[in-house]
Amino acid sequence: MRRAFKWIGRGLLALLALVIVVAIGGYFWLRTSLPQLDGAVTVAGLSAPVEVARDDRGVPTIRAASLNDAYFAIGFAHAQDRLFQMELMRRVGAGRLAEAIGEAGVATDKLMRTLGLYRMAEEEAASASPPLKAGLDAYAAGVNAFLKQRRGALPLEFQLLRITPEPWRPADSLVWGRIMALQLSANWREERLNRALQKALPPDLFQLLLPEAKSLAGLPTPWFGHLNVASNNWVIGPQKSQSGAPILANDPHLSLGAPAIWYLVHVVTPDRQWIGGTSPGMPMIVIGANDRVAWGLTTTSGDTEDLFEEKPVDGNPGLYQTPEGAAPFETRNETIKVKGGADVVIAVRGTRHGPVVSDLDGDRKAGDPVFALSAAFLLPDDRTADALFEMNMARSADEFRTALADFHAPQQNVVFADRAGHISFVAAGRVPVRRKVFAAGLLPAPGWTGQYDWTGTLPFDQLPQARDPEAGWLATANNKIIPDDYPHFIAGRWPDDGRYRRIATMLQAKPSFGVEDAEKMQMDTLSAPLRDLVQSWLPQVKGVDPVIIGMLQRWDGHANLSIAEPSIATLWVSLTAERLLRKKLGGAYEDWWFWNDGVLRQMLSDPKWCAPDSCSALLSASLNEAIDRLRTHFKTDAASWKWGLLHRLHFRHPVFRNVPLLADWLDPELATDGDMYTVNRGVPVENPDTLEFPDAHGPTMRIVVDLADPMQAVVTLAGGQSGNPFSEHYADWLLDWRDGNYRPIVRPSVHTLTLTPGN
């Protein structure tokens, strides 16, 4: 028996040793997926050698003899560092996600096939201007050159999903713009939610939540629904700049996660230079500068989408009603291949207004309303990619403005400046002109009458814009950008303008500004709306710990990770909203509630919404509940309930987050400042049951450009240059990003790779 146990023990040790050897071998094998950074590589498709010199954070400076050679090298570098991110993006856009991940990707594929984004990208590639086409071809050649010459393992995601990248095509690049237009134009989803609430709620409550829905005036309104898009940008004219040249700042706010959204690059050709953030899959600078002009983008939040309710003809479901009589639905079948399952065939319907998106509802029943989508990003002849190319080429603010005339979707607030000292703003994009606006654009419109149809888009010269204002600065933060007497309909509601007001206050506070001032502004954590809201409630509460009351009364409103007041205030607001609205909204509460502080103010000004309690009793109860939960959670005194312990960024990857062990290993979470209302935005996604408010949406990059020398632009990046978790550059910017430690994009190189032309 002892001998048997001895052999069993030896066998287990041998097995353990084998597992360790396999694990170590697998680790080193997967490390072969890291890119070659030094030496020379011979590739086909270049006219001359190109140098790719990376700094200590992996940011490349690309020196090329021509622009197209530079685009080739950008494609090569993108593929080296972000290959799976590019693969995922094009699969999503083409409606081919289920081929890689199985049943979980079918819903996304149905949406993309219904909208036809990839077909539009193919049409855009075919009609591209010769310079853009040449650039896209060069970029694709660079990606494919990497795929042909690479050695070693594919990145880990490809191994886990057991897929291999196909050759890159120009349409794969262009579908990125279609995806961004879809993400940043969410009015149609808002209209669907509003319609559901209108049917489910008493009229007085619906009117309180959405006061514009019966008015065509388009007055400002509290933020409504989960349209989670936000950014800040501003530009300071030479009269307010310490360098005597304009200073431009931009921090685009998007979902935070791994890998980083932006890929930083510096490009040098014999006659031009560029610097800033590219999006893997596209060769041009999206936000940044060339040697003459700098630019930054925020989402306009314009209403560039409409849902139209179509009325099928009784007895003939293949027809729908139009002002001219019955017309057949346009139909086509789409086949979605599913890994590990049978193909899914969907019938896509369309009307004169656009694709029928209500067919995407999984629980759709016969007789349910039919909704078709009109969207600016679905209009034909989209030239946004051509516009982006010409923006990159512009040598003056005037040339840049001319390029914006072709910027079609998504509508963006573009601020820009040139070295001659001019600063400008244009809300660029196609804005529909409607025969009549229905319910301020916040509810689906009747499609059978023709009264609310689109008749075209606003001429470029009539879009909101400004140049060289007397004040010496321009800024946007998703705020209302039009005066009350503006003659055209842009939107029926605008996001809260708190960030814009804070930026304007800071820009007016000093006679002159430098780059460091812009950095401090981007890192500002004043949450004035939250502070003012809770301090307006304090006089009404009774029977609450006076220590907590004193803390909130003295709070200056900064949502810093190192203090407790934001934890108390945020949880108090969250629980107050639950008491006021969860039962009333039912299942729609999670979709609707998004820190709508204006609605809470209105409800708490009318005792009927607090019944059966008084509003004072409701506020007191919710604050006491918040205090009890925090005490139970922290088991310490109130000074230790620090915001950073509840408000944490999880740097999660779309694949690794679903793999045990990898999910935790590859999540370098960290405490962060900010909240929904701060310039340094850090939207807390609520989970009050576990007392977590993860930071899920905020500045994916911060960039400041002084036009005195644009190539000295400074930046912080939410993540790192690499998408490969075995790379030291996977998340090495995170702490500097969190703490506001800016770095010049151009730094001394530590690695140099030369791409040499060959067959």
Given 583, 615, 646, which residue is the final one in a domain?
Answer: 646
pTM of the model: 0.94
Say if residue 634 is exposed, middle or buried (CB neighbours under 10 Å; 0-12, 13-18, 19+).
middle
Helices 528-537 & 565-577 angle (0-180, nearest 10)? 70
User: Tokens standing for 271?
Assistant: 């006659």
Give the separation between CA 409 and CA 117, rounded to whole angstroms.
Answer: 13
Give the separation between CA 76 and CA 722, rounded to whole angstroms.
Answer: 13
48 alpha-carbon distance from chain centroid = 37
Q: What is the pLDDT of residue 217?
A: 30
Q: Considering the domain boundaries, does residue 48 fall inside one?
A: no
Q: Which H helix or E strand runs over 459?
A: none
Q: Which SS3 state, helix, strand or coil, does residue 469 take?
A: coil
Q: Which H helix or E strand runs over 234?
A: strand 230-236
CA distances from 430 to 187, 409, 454, 614, 692 (A): 15, 6, 12, 48, 40
Residue found by looking up tokens 């998007």 in the block: 254
Q: Considering the domain boundaries, does residue 533 fall inside one?
A: yes
Backbone angles phi, psi at 465, to 5 degrees: -165, 165
Count the Cβ atoms, other than its own, within 10 Å of residue 20. 10
Residue found by looking up tokens 């071809």 in the block: 137
Give the separation between CA 275 and CA 268, rounded to whole angstroms.
Answer: 9
Q: What is the pLDDT of residue 574?
A: 95
Alpha helices in 437-579 (DSSP H): 498-508, 515-522, 528-537, 546-554, 565-577
Q: Considering the domain boundaries, does residue 24 fall inside one?
A: yes
Q: Considering the domain boundaries, does residue 605 fall inside one?
A: yes
Count the Cβ atoms, other than its own, within 10 Å of residue 27. 10
C-beta of residue 121 within 8 angstroms of C-beta of residue 151: no
Give the separation between CA 218 and CA 187, rounded to whole angstroms.
Answer: 14
For residue 305, give every residue at least 6 positions away whose Cβ sits within 8 Å of its Cβ, in sequence order, or none: 185, 186, 187, 188, 191, 373, 374, 375, 376
Give the separation between CA 599 and CA 209, rounded to whole angstroms.
Answer: 6
Q: Which SS3 state, helix, strand or coil, does residue 412 take?
A: strand
Q: What CATH number has the domain bearing residue 633?
A: 1.10.1400
C-beta of residue 491 within 8 angstroms of C-beta of residue 411: no
Q: Considering the domain boundaries, does residue 461 fall inside one?
A: no
pLDDT tens digits along 722-747: 999 999 999 999 999 999 999 999 99
Give the separation between CA 441 and CA 628, rounded to whole angstroms.
Answer: 43
| CA neighbor of 440 nearest in space, from 218, 222, 223 | 218
221 alpha-carbon distance from chain centroid = 22
Q: Considering the domain boundaries, does residue 14 fall inside one?
A: yes
Could you state, in chain order, the average pLDDT of each consecutive group of 10 residues for the chain (759 residues)?
52 47 63 94 97 98 98 98 97 97 95 97 97 98 96 92 97 96 86 86 86 41 47 98 98 94 98 98 98 97 96 94 97 97 97 97 87 97 98 98 98 98 98 96 96 98 98 97 96 92 97 98 97 97 97 98 98 95 88 87 94 96 97 96 96 85 82 97 84 92 98 98 96 97 98 95
Count the Cβ atoms, other than its own, within 10 Å of residue 317. 12
CA distances from 520 to 525, 643, 686, 710 (A): 10, 20, 28, 19
Q: Considering the domain boundaries, does residue 325 fall inside one?
A: no
Q: What is the pLDDT of residue 727?
A: 96
Q: What is the pLDDT of residue 644?
A: 97
CA-based diameter of the chain, in Å?
Answer: 95
Strand partners, 702: 716
Give the separation between CA 289 and CA 520, rounded to whole angstroms.
Answer: 21
| CA neighbor of 443 nearest in space, from 379, 493, 496, 378 | 493
Given 597, 616, 646, which residue is the final one in a domain?
Answer: 646
Q: Considering the domain boundaries, does residue 38 fall inside one?
A: no
Stated length of the chain: 759
User: Tokens standing for 543?
Assistant: 């029977």
Q: What is the pLDDT of residue 215?
A: 35
Give the separation between CA 274 and CA 700, rounded to whole angstroms.
Answer: 20
| CA neighbor of 87 nearest in space, from 164, 30, 151 | 164
CA distances from 673 to 283, 714, 728, 732, 738 (A): 33, 21, 25, 19, 8
Domain containing 620 equals 528-646
Given 586, 611, 646, which residue is the final one in a domain?
Answer: 646
CA distances from 157 to 26, 88, 471, 723, 724 (A): 14, 10, 51, 10, 9
Q: What is the pLDDT of residue 277?
A: 98
Q: What is the pLDDT of residue 365?
A: 85
574 alpha-carbon distance from chain centroid = 24
C-beta of residue 80 within 8 angstroms of C-beta of residue 34: no
User: Tokens standing for 11?
Assistant: 């066998």
The count of domains in the chain is 2
Q: What is the pLDDT of residue 214?
A: 44
